[in-house]
Amino acid sequence: MSSERFATLIQVNQENELFRFSYGEALFDEGKFEDCLSHLEFCVGKKSDWMIPQILLGKAMIALNRKEEAIPFLEKALQLARDQNHEDPEAEVEGLLDDIRLTP
């Protein structure tokens, strides 16, 4: 779904973390990495155990060539994936962290 639809919903309710997540995710999917950051950060600020926004934040930071800033989000996501028994996200995040650590 396009980010415009979620932008309208956010205007109605700025504090709704589900709207903010959906908007941030849509912006991410559209390649608007800088724009998605504040919305995804809002989500992890509201729910620190929400794994997917952590992953998207890390991936957005990587896309913006801010790899060092991505590490804390990805490490948190990795811990959440392990704690919540999510094997696929765990493997994805491990791969992202390995790529960051291996790339100069």
Domain interval for residue 83 = 3-102
Q: Say how many domains are in the chain.
A: 1
* CATH number of the domain to which 72 belongs: 1.25.40.10
pTM: 0.93
The string of pLDDT tens digits covering residues 35-86 is 999 999 999 999 999 999 999 999 999 999 999 999 999 999 999 999 999 9
The string of pLDDT tens digits covering residues 65-79 is 999 999 999 999 999
DSSP 14-54: TT-HHHHHHHHHHHHHTT-HHHHHHHHHHHHHH-TT-HHHH
